[in-house]
Amino acid sequence: MPAPARITAGHALDCHLGEDSPLARIEELDARILLLGVGLSVCASFHLAEYRVPGQGARLYGCAVADGPGSRRRHRYHDVDFDTSAFPALGDSYASLPERPVTRGRVGAADCLLFDLPPAVAYASK
């Protein structure tokens, strides 16, 4: 199966960014993340770690789901109640590890960060 199809196949309707999402599939493929003009404090990849930390709360979400051409339905489900408040400190501590897991550079005028997804999620899951 080609990588794009493998990444998106089986994305559960009740799982934003967890084990049944494309984010978990790209982690399995040892993806690298490139943040362009933003810092680790807004890194959506850390949300995968939220699914792996015991005791996470849940909340009700809703979205529109396509049922066919021109047809949509409302889908409601419970999923992790995301909390990004720890992301700034988490990102700073990860980027400052002695092994230097985050590469800094520029693309045009944007400050950029490049790092491997699996170790970042593992670090955030601790």
Report whether 8 contacts 26 (CB < 8 A).
Answer: no
- Residues 74-83 have pLDDT tens digits of 999 999 999 9
pTM of the model: 0.89
Over the stretch 17-65, which tens digit does the pLDDT of each residue have? 999 999 999 999 999 999 999 999 999 999 999 999 999 999 999 999 9
Rg, C-alpha atoms of the chain: 16
Q: What are the extents of the domains in the chain?
A: 3-124
